[in-house]
Amino acid sequence: MARGPEALVKQKVVRILKDYGAYYFYPVTSGMGASGVPDIVACYRGRFIGIECKADASKRGPTALQQKNLMEISATGGVAMVVDKHNIDDVRKELNRVDDYE
């Protein structure tokens, strides 16, 4: 994995997902893959989660295509998140919501 602020956010998100026992992967978008998919795709207790990671979303947020994909995830009942260094704990909060719903 590349180094830098965004990579640190991804590492922290993955650590949280592992702590909860969530399934996750990093989609590779090349060749036949779709562009604009979230950086991390996860499933926790049957709930689909798309997580776009940014170093600082207030300075550089999701692209229009990334935002479109996140909106489509939300529209179909999944969880779509933009996570940066300021709101990493939102991942834990969302997983707790899934636990509370069960």
Q: Whole-angstrom Cα distance, residue 4 to residue 36?
A: 21
pLDDT of residue 90: 96
Domain range for 13 is 5-101
Backbone angles phi, psi at 47, to 5 degrees: -100, 125
Predicted confidence (pLDDT) per residue in 11-27, tens digit: 999 999 999 999 999 99
Q: Which residues pair with 79 in a beta bridge?
A: 49
All residues at 6 or more sequence positions from 32 whose CB lies less than 8 Å from its CB, including other chains: none
How many domains does the structure of the chain reveal?
1
Task: Supply the CATH number for residue 85's domain.
Answer: 3.40.1350.10
The yes-or-no verdict on residue 3 having pLDDT over 90 is no
Q: Whole-angstrom Cα distance, residue 52 to residue 38?
A: 5
Which of 19-23, 24-28, 35-39, 63-67 reaches the highest mean pLDDT?
Answer: 19-23
Helix (H, G, I), strand (E, B) or coil at 61: coil
pTM for the model stands at 0.90
Per-residue pLDDT averaged across 45-53, rounded?
96
